[in-house]
């Protein structure tokens, strides 16, 4: 999923937000890049801490493990709060982590599922959504962080909401993600399926 992304929308505080059109879809894909000084395990542990979603993911109301398949694979439910009058969105995603044995780069792929969890009244279930997080070691304790998302929001959204979701939300999420990963509880954490570079 990680491909070259077209148009730079924001470049601020060591965070770059890009968008591009996707063939066959009316919705754009967004990619956010930044660098992080710390351990890859800290980044993986934070994303794996579903309860902490609301601390860093912009709009996340709550998140929990629906089913754990293994240490590196699970189904995770997330409820996203959107401004009135737009209905909240939720998703049950199949999440899987992999690590390249040579480069030690880590990738998480999250894909929306259908027909597993009953819809919840008052929320629009996302059934077409794909998110990738990638952490690439750069040496000297530096990690390149890449987050890429493409989704169908499930119904038409006002232009200002669409713009917010494409630029503001990814930017704020990356900013908060990097800050939260420096918290003491993630600093020295060990992740069973991750080998530090």
C-alpha to C-alpha distance for 91 and 172, rounded to whole angstroms: 20
57, two tokens: 């993911």
* Cα dihedral 127→130→131→135 (10° resolution): 150
Is 121 domain-assigned?
Answer: yes
Is 194 domain-assigned?
Answer: no
- pTM across the whole model: 0.93
Say whether pLDDT at 1 is over 50.
no
Check if the beta carbon of residue 18 is closer than 8 Å to that of residue 31.
yes
| Digit-coded pLDDT (tens) for 154-167 | 877 776 677 678 89
Is 197 domain-assigned?
Answer: no
- The three-point CA angle 71-73-77 to 5° equals 115
| Digit-coded pLDDT (tens) for 74-118 | 999 999 998 888 899 999 999 999 999 999 999 999 999 998 999
* Structural domain total, the chain: 1
The CATH number of the domain holding residue 170 is 3.30.530.20
């Amino acid at each position: 999923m990680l491909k070259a992304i077209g148009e730079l929308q924001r470049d601020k505080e060591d965070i770059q937000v890009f968008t591009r059109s996707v063939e066959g879809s009316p919705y754009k894909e967004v990619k956010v890049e930044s660098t992080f000084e710390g351990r890859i395990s800290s980044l993986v542990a934070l994303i794996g801490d579903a309860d902490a979603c609301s601390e860093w993911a912009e709009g996340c109301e709550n998140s929990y493990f629906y089913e754990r398949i293994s240490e590196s694979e699970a189904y995770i439910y997330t409820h996203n709060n959107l401004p009135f009058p737009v209905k909240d969105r939720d998703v049950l995603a199949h999440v899987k982590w992999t690590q390249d044995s040579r480069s030690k780069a880590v990738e998480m792929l999250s894909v929306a599922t259908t027909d597993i969890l009953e819809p919840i009244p008052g929320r629009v279930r996302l059934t077409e959504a794909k998110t990738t997080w990638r952490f690439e070691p750069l040496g000297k304790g530096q990690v390149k962080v890449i987050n890429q998302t493409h989704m169908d929001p499930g119904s038409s959204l006002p232009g200002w909401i669409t713009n917010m979701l494409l630029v503001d939300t990814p930017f704020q999420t990356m900013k908060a993600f990097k800050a939260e990963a420096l918290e003491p509880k993630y600093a020295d954490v060990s992740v069973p399926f991750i080998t530090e570079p």
